[in-house]
Structure 1
Amino acid sequence: MNSSITVIVGAGLAGAEAAFKLRECGYAGRIVLIGQEPWMPYDRPPLSKAYLKGVLATEHIWLHPETRYGDEDIEVRRSTSVRRIQRDARRVVLADGDTLAYDTLILATGGEARRFPASGGELQGVMTLKTLDDADHLAARLESRPTVVVIGGGFIGLEFAATARLAHCDVTVVEDQPHILSRTVSPVIAAYVHGEHVRQGVKILTGTRVERILGDAKVTAVELAGGQRLAADLVLVGIGNVPSDTLAREAGLVISDRGGIFVDDEGRTSDAHIYALGDCASRLYPGLAMPLRLESVQCAYAQARRLAASMTGQPQKSHEVPWFWSDQFDIKLQMAGLPLPGDHTLLRGDPASGKFSVIHHNPSALTAIQCVNAPGDFVSAKKMIAANRSFPTELLTNTDQSMRDIARMA
């Protein structure tokens, strides 16, 4: 009998997937999955979209049926938090003072929604969207059609803005950067998404900072830099996530300068007995000088596969191309790869048609693609990026040829 014990801290997608991948790879030891929330592991991306709209029932949000954890002999401890890691003794101390020994510890602690940093963030009606409880509370509030202000023009903020607008709410998005999605997509795509939101009735203020949130017990308005006030019954703060790396930091593990637990390609931390994956983990990627955290469901799946293979001595497959997506109104935004410094961009298609792609490439390779309502481009380009080779620019911009045909021709 295998007497080894693997403790996984964090019962989100990354932690749950690590547990199941370990079993798939033949790991026969004890697996304990620890989560702070009262729920079994669930899928987070639908929270700002299908689930919040009410078109995805709660029973469809669970990652696996509860019985499957028992079938795979995976212990799930819900409503349980870890206070600290005792590396020398190889054990974790739980919030109630109990301890749990491990041979291998996996940190899948994810991230926390960044809170509004100035006055008013504590008022009733000022919310974030990270957990199932958050989504349930927001869904209940949207039923009364409140006046909504969204702070932050990133993916979560815009997805929520679209959902709230479809619920017939008055919605204003306030973004302090010159354009929305400034950290994630090319300007031409940002402009297209901006225009579609405005066409649907969302008001967007860019280059504008929220100074404070006003109200007594409940929020009544937000005040912008310069003094303008926007009425608000509900404020959604969508200004990014902070990696939950406090446990690792306090245990003396190496932390990236930009936050996140530094890991190697297989997810190992600076302690040979501790791995990390998901939103809390940061690693180096080819062509990039600084470690990066990739907050993506697909990246978490890929990291879980590599981690489980490493722990069980299985052969490693090549790294998968990271990919991401977002749904807003009728916009399906799909992205693959990581743009590199010095890349050139190509526009494939016409934004006025509502179907186009922005391709990132350099003389050596096609590195990334960002697609608007162009799933064919996305699927083929993902394979082309994985091939790590270049393609003639005159072909890439020729929409008379499919990306699949271009991959075959070049």
Structure 2
Amino acid sequence: MLRLILNREPWKSLGKEDGINLKSLATQSDMVVMSEHDNKLRAITWDSGQYDGFHFKTAIGDEFADPAISDVDKISKITSGQIDVDNKQFIQISTAYPDSTVPFHRDEKHIIESMEKDWKRDGDTYLCLIWAIDNISETEKPEMWIKANPLLDMPEKHDKMLRDLKTEKDADSLAGNLFAFQNKSLNIWLQASIDSYLSLKNVEESITPKFDMHNREVYIGFDYSQFSDNTAFGFVFPYFDRKGQPKFFLYQHSFIPWNHSGSIENKERQDGIDYRTLEKMGFCTITEHKDGIINTDQVYQWLTKFVFQYQLKVLYFGYDEAGSYQTANLKDALLANYPAWNIENIKQWPSNLAKPTKYLQDMFTTHKITRLDDEVMEKALLNATTGISPFGISVEKNRATLKIDVVDALIDAFYKGMY
């Protein structure tokens, strides 16, 4: 582009004035230098991570919602280098992606919330521009697609582009893959997978700003980690809302091992979750074991302290022993000290878990669930996919680094809590 425009006036004179060597542009594809001002235009690949030592006036990242660009450390290297730089900008650009748990989408949600709370002025350093349809029903209204495709407003492009979009929609619809068109061409976040356990919409709409857990009845589910998995407690609180409607409030607390990853930093990178920040918010505990494995004593102490702190009436404690001596030890300690808890080992068979698995899904669909804005829980809910067996549905995950331990724990709690 520079070679093209610098051969024409007035850019030709401006290029000479700024000291841009036209001949160097043929070979220096990764950097352009303005010698008169010592300005540099650099192209740096994301995977290289070579951002240390740079103090970017303007940094532009394209396709920043790609799950491959979820490395918080690399992003912080860019922003930390911009400290004490006047008028700096970090511009992130992307279409929506199928994985709605990426940092790009979380940032988008937080900025929208800041704009809606305009009186607080928390978001004054951010500008968020979104081109997307407003409602999924607009999928069937081509006249609304311009919201996500502003080039449709160009008369010379409109007819062909609209025709191409309709063709793409029809093809995806016939293939049972309409969510792909909605996601990429209409730019809406869906957690779009045909086998997703829950929809992004239902998971996000379940958030409540607060819930008083004191002196309540609770059902508890427990899922102990295997290898790199997290250990999770799921808490199910039945309650009536202000309109007298029965609902469930869900809470979780996870224990984070890092032995398999080598360090907590690597664990965060693999899971795409900033555990150290979430620990400060009370949603998880990074294991205190020097080798990075789960400490059963730490898990037991946390649970008993939590129950005492909120004066909870534990109606049920369901767990999956699955040959784990650590779970057996925890169970024995609870049986010895809390015999009234109704403690049960739940066999992890599809015939056993299909009903509570379907029940939890239905409760989200019918808006009978509330929860805090907890990223550990949200990511687990959105990571879960649906498996089918002759007995009904089950929850699964597509790869090892996707965490669904919280969902397993909640299903164990609903094993009795659904009644």
> What is the TM-score normalised by the length of structure 1?
0.24
Task: Name the one with the larger strand percent.
Answer: 1
> What is the TM-score normalised by the length of structure 2?
0.23
Larger Rg: 2
Task: Name the one with the larger helix percent.
Answer: 2
